[in-house]
Amino acid sequence: MTARLDVLTEGYADDRVASTVVLVRDGDAVIVVDPGMVASRSLILDPLAALGVDPRDVTDVVFSHHHPDHTLNAALFTEARFHDHWAIYQDDVWTDRAADGFELGPSVRLKATPGHSAEDVTTLVETDGGLVACTHLWWSSEGPDVDPLAHDQTQLEVSRAELLALRPVLVVPGHGSPFRPA
């Protein structure tokens, strides 16, 4: 079994900033990754509607890290569980768990990838086309190679190498369009 991944909106980071927002459907799991800053909430909600997904159908939301540009619109998904590097949150319940290896669906798991922040996680999605990594280890296909906001650049480079060793066919970066890693 494999998951279906759709990019709802491609992010950017320049004079303005928006996160790349992703929808993953895997069995009963309906997952949104990084519902952060966008120019208009319609840039998240309209593509969801076009794919036949109501925001109340979203079962899980993943934060690659806790910067507002990746979390700001999480409240759109009132029925979801929220995932970060160390817990699951739903309503008033906080459930501790390590992210590394946690499965959100049969074909979706989390991987700890510190560097941009100490708490970064990557969402790994097995699709018909191969492994896709939704991550903030890269801002976009153009870089930057050295992350100007990195918590730990050396750790970021270690995390990049570990992720690339998994041989993803596609990387969905934090602020850009998906790209094939070189």
pLDDT at 148: 94
Please give the pLDDT value at position 143.
86
pTM of this prediction? 0.97
| Binned average pLDDT, 10 residues per bin, the chain of 182 residues | 94 97 98 98 98 98 97 98 98 97 98 97 98 97 93 97 98 98 89
CB atoms within 10 A of CB 42: 11
| DSSP code string of 64-109 | SSS-GGGTTTGGG-TT-EEE-SSEEEETTEEEE---TT-EEETTEE
Closest among 139, 172, 129 to 4, alpha carbons compared = 129
> Where exactly are the structural domains of the chain?
4-172
Architecture of domain 4-172: 4-Layer Sandwich (3.60)
Q: Which pLDDT belongs to residue 182?
A: 83
